[in-house]
Amino acid sequence: MAKSIKVRAKAKQGIVTVKALMNHPMETGLRKDKKTGKMIPAHFIQEVTAKLGDNTVMSAVWGGAISKNPYVSFKCSGAKGDSLTLAWVDNKGNSDSATAKVK
């Protein structure tokens, strides 16, 4: 799933506000396909991490209860020009990451 993350990071007085939108189906494994009646297999993001430079500033463990195309926002310490990398790994072994410069 290439390019599934849109991320922005803005600094103000030493605090970086990160906002990210991730494109992912986030299936719980509990729904049935309306046409076939078969269960839709679980497919969801399990882990999300954010690094500012070499420091991990956010780590989250998710499950099937998170909505489709999840949005995440958080704050951390940082400065303009720093590099922020946000990455996810799902329960099927897929992963993606995106990098943004702090503005």
β strands within the chain, DSSP E: 5-12, 15-22, 45-52, 55-61, 71-77, 83-90, 95-101
pTM for the structure as a whole? 0.90
pLDDT by position in tens, the chain (length 103): 458 999 999 999 999 999 999 999 999 999 999 999 999 999 999 999 999 999 999 999 999 899 999 999 999 999 999 999 999 999 999 999 999 999 9
Domains identified in the chain and CATH numbers: 5-101 (2.60.40.10)
